[in-house]
Every structure is written in structure tokens, then in C-alpha cells.
Amino acid sequence: MVNTDNIRQLAVSRGCTVKENEPMHRYTTFKIGGEAQLLILTPNIPALRAILKQCGEENVPVFVLGKGSNLLVSDKGIEGVVIKLEDDFRQMTLVEDDTVFCGAAASLASLCRFACDNGLSGLEFAWGIPGSVGGAAYMNAGAYGGEMRDVLLCCNHITRGGDVGSLSGEGLELSYRHSAYMDSGDVITGVTVRLHKDSKTEIEKRMDDFMRRRKDKQPLEYPSAGSIFKRPEGHFAGTLIQDSGLKGARVGGAMVSPKHAGFIINTGNATCGDVLSLIEHIKKTVDDKFGVELECEVKPTGIL
């Protein structure tokens, strides 16, 4: 493991909460993962800038954690520093009649609710997605025909060197489950979204409809990381997996959901190794049967 003593001292001096050897299964929707060497709960931009700069100078690996909803953490844990944004990074503000600024650590659900309460439509598709706003922008999250690029104007960020910046428009490089931040490594601190006025009643109706669909079709009663695979060109991953006879297939505590084949669920004691083995089995089976190569949407992280 790398030496994180200086970073721990700096973080404490900047008002952060610091946890050593913190079990990551507590922070992921999969309920899987070993220990983070150093978890830093970071309350504001000055603290974040200082920590990122120090980590860069000391060549200490940094992983930024959102809500842990699209994440598979290694059983061996994560070396270096895990940063979780808190406090100031949850703030939301109506900056114009149709425009909202939201901190990256706010839940996507809270932003959807804020928009609805202000009679703003455009985020209904995201109601029920269990991620953070920053994570949603990072991967251009989407569902039910909508995605973040439909509403995203700008992202504020801090570079790994501690500098403040932003991206907007084409600079965000938004495409299916991708943004420029996946390549740059810069840390999103807040987003600005542009929505449109509508009746709060109509917005709530659409939100309720999407939530009903999720509950009917998705295995929300089990820990998971959502859809495991990206949508392959011309196909649906869940349909390919189902038609390969893999519903209910399992490795250890990891199982292809009998309710929705696009999900791998943790039946209670799954390890990262179980999930990775099941992913490889699914990919090989689908490729052998249909000649389609599935690509993971969930991000494996840590000492693999």
C-alpha cells in the first residue's frame, strides 16, 4: 500500500472526516467490496483542491465515489485515497426560471424532486435511478428514452492537479454512457441543467409512471449495480441473456436476476470474484450463441 500519512493529516486540517481501512461494501448498492485504504469525506471545494493536489504530488491513487450505484469494488479493496463529496456538494439552486445548479454529491432523485417542486420538466426519466448527480453526468446516465445530455448545460470540475475548470456543450463529449470526464479524470463538482416549465401534476404523473415500470420490471429488492451491460448495437442485452437461457444462472452468491436478465443480483454473500466470473460466463455464452460481444456498463474498481 502507498503511504497516505501526509494526505490524512492534510484532510483532517481541512475539516474532512477521514476513515482508514473502511469497508466499501457499506458504500455500494451491490453491497460488495473490500476496504478503502483511506476514505475522505470532503465537505467543500478548497478541501477537495488541496487533497487532489497533494495526491498528485505524492503519486497517490485517487478514486472519487458517488452513490456507488454503478460500481463493483474488488474484494481486495482500493489502494490509496477514496474521496466522497459531502456538504457543500449537495446544494441545489434555481439560477433562472428554467435552469438549476446542483452539486455533484446530491442524489439524482433529490434533483428530480427539486425540479418537480419548481414545475420543471425534463428529468422525469431519471426518477428512480439510484446514483449521484455527478455520477449521472460522468456516465451520461439515461433511461426510458431520456439521458443527461438532453438537459446538461455545463459541468464544473477540479482537475487532478487541483485547478478549477468547467466543460459545456460539445466539450462534454456526451454519447451513450460516456462523457469527456471518463477520459480526463477531472472530478465533477457541480452541474447546470436546463429544463422547461410544465404542470407539477403532469410531471409527477410521468415520474410515477417511470417508477411503476422500474418496480414491475427490475429486481429492486436485491442489491445490484443496475444494468450490468451496455446496450449492444441493434439488440437489448437483457433479451440476449434471457434468450441464452441464463436467467437464474449463478456463481456463488451472484445470480442473473430471474426478473430481469440484464441485472446481476447479490443474493446475500456475493463477492466481486463471483460477479466477475458470472459476467465472463454471460459474455461467452451470448457471444457463442448470437455472435454479439457484450460490454460492461458497471465499473470494476480497486485491486483486481
Q: pLDDT digit string (tens) for 122-149?
A: 999 999 999 999 999 999 999 889 999 9
What residues pair up with 250 in beta bridges, in sequence order? 255
Q: What is the pLDDT of residue 304?
A: 61
Q: Quick one: CATH architecture of 5-87? A: 2-Layer Sandwich (3.30)
Pairing of strands 224-227, 196-197: unpaired
Residue closest to 69 by CA, chosen among 295, 290, 225, 205 = 225
Q: What is the pLDDT of residue 46?
A: 97
Could you tell me what percent of the chain has a pLDDT over 70? 100
Q: Which of 2.60.120.10, 3.40.50.1000, 1.20.1050.10, 3.30.465.10 is the CATH number of 91-202? A: 3.30.465.10
What is the topology classification, in CATH, of domain 220-301? 3.90.78
In this prediction the pTM is 0.93
**In the chain, which residues have pLDDT < 50?**
none
Structural element, H or E, at residue 265: strand 263-266
Residue closest to 194 by CA, chosen among 260, 91, 111 = 111
Q: What is the pLDDT of residue 102?
A: 98
- Residue 43 CA, distance from chain mean position: 19
| 33 in Cβ contact with 75 (< 8 Å) | yes
Name the burial class of residue 201, with classes exposed (0-12), middle (13-18) and buried (19+) by CB atoms within 10 angstroms of its CB. Answer: exposed
Residue closest to 101 by CA, chosen among 178, 164, 163, 156 = 156
Residue spans per domain, the chain: 5-87, 91-202, 220-301
What is the rounded distance in angstroms from the CA atom of residue 300 to the CA atom of residue 304?
8
| 275 in Cβ contact with 72 (< 8 Å) | yes
Instruction: For residue 131, give Cα distances in angstroms to 67, 158, 187, 275.
Output: 5, 20, 16, 20
Residue closest to 129 by CA, chosen among 110, 116, 115 = 110
What is the distance between the terminal CA atoms of the chain, rounded to a whole angstrom?
14
Q: What is the pLDDT of residue 215?
A: 92
| 24 in Cβ contact with 35 (< 8 Å) | yes
CA dihedral angle for residue 245, residue 227, residue 139, residue 85, rounded to 10 degrees: -140
Three-class SS state of 174: coil
| Residues designated catalytic | 177, 227, 297
> What confidence tens digit (pLDDT) does each residue in 45-104 have?
999 999 999 999 999 999 999 999 999 999 999 999 999 999 999 999 999 999 999 999
